[in-house]
Chains A and B, each alone.
Chain A
């Protein structure tokens, strides 16, 4: 189990589908639904770089970053300050399933997103929103 999940964190999504444990599969997400699931996260997190950090760190280009290392954000828990892992959609999925079970001392003031489909939707949204700049012209 440990080795498989280790791989899960490193492999691209397509490969993961081959090896995953039951219950860990990242469902296909809908970014438009995810826009609203992500709404509650916006109490503390912005994907748009221009908005900076809030109670939580900014999420611009979050996938691929080492967790807990964003410049200018001084409110990480010890767990995240010391973290050495990289955020992937799969890890975000695991984390949001039950944040306090994964890192009990996290200071994130959220109980996560219990519903697997909603998590997938949120991640689909964040994949788009975290690389988009909202200063771009609105397409007609």
Chain B
């Protein structure tokens, strides 16, 4: 192992990378046990490290934040404003976490400055109703309430940190590819959400062309972090929490290129290490439906480290099987005039549903199997790699036989659908008129929208139980002293089904801030 380390170190090029250095790299790749090097260094065998076992501290700070996505960075920013010493560590060479790889959408409403500038009517109540009635059963209501009430102020805080938004709104479904900053980012307009809460566009995304909103958001927040002088260290991965005799968390044992580092945190530790979508074993055990989705969607650091450190310190973990499972059928919107059916050839949802709601229905309620049936006008008109074409025919009967639906089932579904669609009705799922018309123009096509055949990204939502201030709660309902968490390391606002883009990064940034403040105050606030 030592020799391999040396090889690895020798690799680091001072100047140009030439072939010889690549070859040295090749040697390192094949000289090293791959699994061992990917899993990182050996962890101590205990689930937590007792304070008495730590002979000396290598680094001492007031607040230690582990993780550099939106949650960690916002925690560090706010902790710093409390006039304490803050150290933020990141396991990867680059800061930004999964937030920097995301769309960068923050779900905000109740009359944000951007909504008001665009004359869009919204209320805290409508936003709250939408999240509570469209999301999962028995959510953590106090978090939702506080998030909605604080939403306009939180948006202004993001702007004050240097995140820029454009005064521009689009009605188009899906993350804007243009530079618009406000859109309907979720299921607001689809049934039954539209009947349960007054819809408003609440997806706030930095106004940059392309899908680079997450990077833009994190660049602004990281620039602010630098400006405030928060210390950051990359290449340090958390391994175990250090716990005092009285149960208080007082530090973390982390692993870096040069070995183990003991970091003391006088006031508190904030776990903001992301979810666990890239920890395949953990995913299979906790979230089997997400495990079956074809594309793990996240940052390489989403290995569950923060969740496991927290559980080891006594934390309760919630909703570990939940996450987003996404069937990104749109854009283009013309395909939403098609119908989505299960293995029995039956519809089970309004096709216009937010792709997280549609994906959830497929992954969790249809055994992962679904097909999009289109006629000529609702077909994908360009080559796409997301949904394989499994059958095409000029008659529905032949299509059904080719695709393998039970005899007569698809024909029955379409006869019923067309009969009502022709008079502008969808008795089953109240599909919007915009997308509702009979399917009757050959050729007909069947596209595979199953979790294991389609491009079906998944990310985890389960994590540690925290209160509204990011205090980590143990299995007896008490806060663990000195331990705080935020982002996808905790079970937060995003639950399954995922009802709108921006709930996750919104939750990360908002509750990250609160965890940072609470940690700086040592949990005594």
Q: Is the CB of B22 within 8 A of A102?
A: yes
Residue picked from A36, A52, A79, A140, most chain B C-beta under 10 Å: A36
Per-residue CB proximity of A64-84 to B under 8 Å, as 1/0? 000000000000011110111
Which residues of chain A are within 8 angstroms of B443 by Cβ–Cβ distance?
140
Contact at B17–A84, with CB atoms within 8 Å? yes
Contacts A82-B16, A84-B17 given; does A138 touch B30 at CB 8 Å:
no
Would you call B382 an interface residue if the criterion is a C-beta within 8 Å of the partner chain's C-beta atoms?
Answer: yes
Residue of B nearest to A132 (CB): B383
Interface contact B297-A79, CB-CB below 8 Å: no
Given known A-B contacts A36-B295, A55-B100, A111 and B300 have beta carbons under 8 A apart: yes
* CB nearest to A8 among chain B residues: B26
Which chain A residues (43-58) contact chain B, with CB distance < 8 Å?
43-44, 51-55
Question: At the interface, yes or no: B385 with Cβ under 8 Å from chain A?
Answer: yes
Does B15 have its Cβ within 8 Å of any Cβ on chain A? yes
A35 touches B25 (CB 8 A): no
Residues of A1-15 whose CB lies within 8 A of B? 1-2, 5-6, 9
Asked if A107 and B94 make an inter-chain contact with CB atoms under 8 angstroms apart, the answer reads yes
B29 touches A82 (CB 8 A): no
Q: Is the interface of B mostly helix, strand, loop or mixed?
A: loop
A19 within 8 A of B: no
Q: Out of A5, A101, A137, which one reaches B382, CB within 8 Å? A: A137
Bound CA–CA A101/B18 (angstroms): 16
The smallest beta-carbon distance between B410 and chain A, in angstroms, is 20
Which residue of A is nearest B30, CB measured? A23
Known A101-B37, A140-B443; contact A83-B16, beta-carbon cutoff 8 A: yes
Q: Are B297's CB and A40's CB within 8 A?
A: yes
Closest Cβ of chain A to B284, distance in Å, is 16
CA distance in complex: A76, B475 (Å): 45
Chain B residue, CB-CB nearest to A3: B23
Flag if B384 contacts A134 (CB, 8 Å).
Answer: yes
Instruction: Check B385 against A35 for contact (C-beta < 8 Å).
Output: yes
A85 touches B382 (CB 8 A): no
Q: Is the CB of B295 within 8 A of A39?
A: yes
Tell me, yes or no, whether A91 is within 8 Å of chain B by CB: yes
> Contacts A40-B297, A104-B11, A132-B383; is A55 near B215 (CB within 8 Å)?
yes
* Cα distance A103–B93 in the bound complex, in angstroms: 11
Distance (whole angstroms) from the CB of A96 to the closest CB of chain B: 10
B457: Cβ under 8 A from any A Cβ: yes
Interface string of A101-139 (1 = CB under 8 A from B): 111111101111010000000000000010010111111
Q: Is B227 an interface residue (CB 8 A)?
A: no
User: Among the listed B29, B295, B383, B456, which residue makes an inter-chain contact with A98, where contact means beta carbons less than 8 Å apart?
Assistant: B29
In the assembled complex, how far is the CB of residue B449 from the closest CB belonging to chain A, in whole angstroms? 13
CB-nearest residue of chain B to A67: B17
Asked whether A83 and B12 contact (CB < 8 A) given A94-B29, A101-B37, the answer is: no
Residue B462 at the chain A interface, CB threshold 8 Å: no
Cβ-defined partner of B38 (8 Å) among A91, A98, A103, A139: A98
Least CB distance from B178 to A in Å reads 13
A-chain residues with CB within 8 Å of residue B384 when the two chains form the complex: 134, 138
Identify the closest chain B residue to A105 (Cβ).
Answer: B93
* Contact bitstring B100-142, A, C-beta under 8 A = 1, else 0: 1100000000000000000000000000000000000000000
Q: Tell me if B8 and A104 are in contact (CB < 8 A).
A: yes
List B275-312 residues whose CB lies under 8 Å from chain A. Answer: 278, 294-301
Closest B residue, CB atoms, query A135 = B382
User: Is B457's CB under 8 angstroms from A98's CB?
Assistant: no
Q: Which residues does chain A contribute within 8 Å of B23, judged by CB atoms?
A: 1-2, 5-6
Cβ contacts under 8 Å, A103 to chain B: 11, 17, 25
Quick check: A36 and B32 within 8 Å, CB to CB? no
Per the bound structure, the CA–CA distance linking A100 and B8 in Å amounts to 9
Judged by a CB distance under 8 angstroms, whether B510 is at the interface is no
Q: Is A97 an interface residue (CB 8 A)?
A: yes
Complex CA–CA separation, A104 to B215 (angstroms)? 21
Q: Give 1 or 0 for each of A10-38: 1 = CB within 8 Å of chain B CB.
A: 00000000000101100000001001100
Please, which residues of chain B bring their CB within 8 A of the CB of A79?
A: 13, 17
Query: Which residues of B are found within 8 Å of A36, using beta-carbon distances?
Result: 294-295, 452-453, 455
Q: Is the CB of B294 within 8 A of A83?
A: no
B residues less than 8 Å from A104 (CB atoms)? 8, 11-12, 93, 257
User: Hey, which chain B residues are within 8 Å of A82, CB to CB?
Assistant: 13, 15-17
Query: Which of chain A's residues have a CB closer than 8 A to the CB of B212?
Result: 54-55
Q: Does chain A have a CB within 8 A of B92?
A: yes
CA distance A67 to B298 in the complex (A): 24
Residues of B within 8 A of A84 (CB): 16-19
A139-B34 in contact (CB<8A): no
From B100, B211, B388, residue with most partner A Cβ within 10 Å? B211
- Ordered by A's residue number, 15 sampled pairs between the chains whose C-beta atoms are within 8 Å are A2-B20, A2-B27, A6-B19, A32-B388, A35-B455, A36-B452, A43-B101, A44-B101, A84-B19, A94-B29, A100-B37, A101-B29, A114-B34, A137-B382, A138-B389
20 further A-B contacts with Cβ under 8 Å, apart from A39-B456, A42-B295, A102-B26, are A6-B23, A9-B22, A35-B385, A35-B455, A44-B101, A52-B210, A54-B212, A55-B212, A55-B215, A79-B13, A82-B17, A84-B18, A98-B29, A101-B28, A103-B11, A103-B17, A109-B92, A111-B278, A138-B379, A138-B389
Chain A residues packing against B (C-beta within 8 Å): 1-2, 5-6, 9, 21, 23-24, 32, 35-36, 39-40, 42-44, 51-55, 77-80, 82-85, 91, 94, 97-98, 100-107, 109-112, 114, 129, 132, 134-140
| Chain B residues engaging chain A, CB cutoff 8 angstroms | 8, 11-13, 15-20, 22-23, 25-30, 32, 34-35, 37-38, 92-94, 96, 100-101, 210-212, 214-215, 257, 278, 294-301, 379-385, 388-389, 392, 443, 452-453, 455-457
The 6 closest A-B pairs by CB, nearest first: A39-B295, A102-B25, A82-B16, A107-B94, A83-B17, A36-B294
